[in-house]
């Protein structure tokens, strides 16, 4: 005797992924048991509701677009968005979906990937940030700078790059070793961050070199004002185990588009300006000393 198989609907409840059926208007007609496990809503609470009501507000536009593409005949695989759990937190889900025109329904299977997305975000952060200071690294700086150049400034505001190189930092390493030098770099990063606006960017691009991206900087005069303010922030002594040390900074400036139309050109110009300032400063100091002596 052939055994009687359970209804397919009961088999769907055994799946670890959520199975959903929605109509052409996006209303839930069916959800499997895993839907409640993943999102906290029971079937009674969810049937008849709009799917988009549960989607994270920041992901609704992309979700509506994806749903439209599915209903136009595309087979959707691996679409990711965030839903809002019944208790309020976000849940990352990866969907596969297909439109069945003969029934007028969209069938979708969703797998929770919250832990996967968290791991991916951590890897993305590590790939784009300096592990010592937590600042954006060279790769992230180039991406942000290219994006800032491409974005049209409707208000006519400009863009400036400050190339910051520490003067005297080698003495910190010589006196206390690399661990002490690392602590000084972390302090330098904190001081630079406190000296810029929230929408500006401070990056560490290697060693004792930092770059500040000033969005909406009007002109070279405004950039110089910020550069001098940052230099002043770096001049108070840093505390080492064997006593304080005083650093200075050479800061080169490049303004877009006057000093370059690309990220590479702007950084190269600011680097050259910084190099010139660094090698001119000792001669300036000696000259000032001689002038002071003659005046005395």
Q: Could you read off the pLDDT of 156-168 as tens digits, one per residue? A: 578 999 999 999 9
Tell me: do 111 and 133 sit in the same domain: no
Q: How far apart are CA 192 and CA 199, in angstroms?
A: 13
**Does residue 295 form part of some domain?**
no
Question: Is the Cβ–Cβ distance between 233 and 195 less than 8 Å?
Answer: yes
What per-residue confidence (pLDDT) applies to 61?
A: 96
**Does residue 2 form part of some domain?**
no
Q: Report the number of distinct structural domains present in the chain.
A: 2
Q: How confident is the model at residue 6 (pLDDT cuts 50, 70, 90)?
A: low
Tell me: do 198 and 76 sit in the same domain: no
Quote the tokens at residue 21. Answer: 């059926």
Last residue of a domain, one of 95, 117, 139: 117
Tell me: do 187 and 214 sit in the same domain: yes
Q: What angle is formed at CA 115 by the lines to CA 112 and CA 116, rounded to 5 degrees? A: 85
Q: How confident is the model at residue 282 (pLDDT cuts 50, 70, 90)?
A: low
Q: How confident is the model at residue 11 (pLDDT cuts 50, 70, 90)?
A: confident
Query: Coil, strand, or helix at residue 129?
Result: strand
The single residue of 17, 130, 167, 208 carrying the catalytic annotation is: 208
Q: How far apart are CA 233 and CA 246, in angstroms?
A: 11
Q: How far apart are CA 275 and CA 284, in angstroms?
A: 14
Question: Is the Cβ–Cβ distance between 215 and 199 less than 8 Å?
Answer: yes
Q: How far apart are CA 240 and CA 141, in angstroms?
A: 30
The pLDDT of residue 248 is above 90: yes
Last residue of a domain, one of 117, 137, 159: 117
* Sequence-ordered list of residues with C-beta below 8 angstroms from that of 73, at least 6 positions apart, any chain: 99
- Number of helical H runs and strand E runs in the chain: 9, 11
Q: Helices (DSSP H) in 94-133: which residue ranges?
A: 114-128
Tell me: do 12 and 38 sit in the same domain: yes
Annotation marks residue 259 as catalytic:
no
Domain CATH number, residue 54: 3.30.450.20
Residue 277 belongs to domain spanning? 129-286
């Amino acid at each position: 005797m052939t055994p009687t198989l359970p209804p397919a609907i009961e088999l769907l409840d055994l799946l670890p992924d959520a199975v959903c059926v929605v109509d052409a208007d996006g209303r839930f007609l069916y959800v499997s048991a895993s839907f409640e496990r993943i999102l906290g809503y029971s079937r009674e609470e969810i049937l008849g509701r709009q799917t988009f009501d549960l989607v994270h507000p920041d992901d609704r536009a992309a979700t509506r677009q994806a749903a439209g593409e599915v209903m136009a005949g595309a087979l959707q695989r691996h679409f990711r968005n965030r839903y809002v759990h019944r208790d309020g937190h976000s849940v990352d889900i990866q969907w596969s979906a297909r439109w069945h025109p003969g029934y007028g329904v969209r069938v979708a299977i969703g797998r929770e990937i919250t832990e996967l997305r968290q791991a991916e975000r951590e890897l993305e952060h590590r790939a784009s940030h300096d592990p010592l200071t937590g600042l954006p690294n060279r790769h992230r700086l180039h991406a942000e700078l290219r994006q800032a150049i491409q974005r049209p400034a409707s208000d006519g505001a400009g863009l400036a790059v400050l190339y910051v190189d520490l003067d005297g930092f080698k003495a910190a390493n010589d006196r206390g070793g690399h661990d002490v030098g690392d602590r000084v770099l972390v302090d330098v990063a904190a001081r630079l961050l406190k000296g810029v606006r929230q929408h500006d960017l401070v990056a560490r691009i290697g060693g004792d070199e930092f770059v500040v991206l000033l969005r909406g900087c009007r002109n070279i005069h405004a950039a110089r004002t910020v550069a001098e303010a940052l230099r002043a922030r770096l001049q108070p002594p840093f505390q080492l185990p064997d006593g304080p040390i005083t650093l200075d900074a050479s800061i080169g400036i490049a303004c877009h588009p006057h000093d370059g139309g690309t990220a590479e050109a702007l950084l190269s110009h600011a680097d050259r300006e910084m190099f010139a300032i660094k090698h001119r400063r000792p001669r300036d100091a000696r000259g000032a000393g001689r002038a002071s002596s003659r005046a005395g």
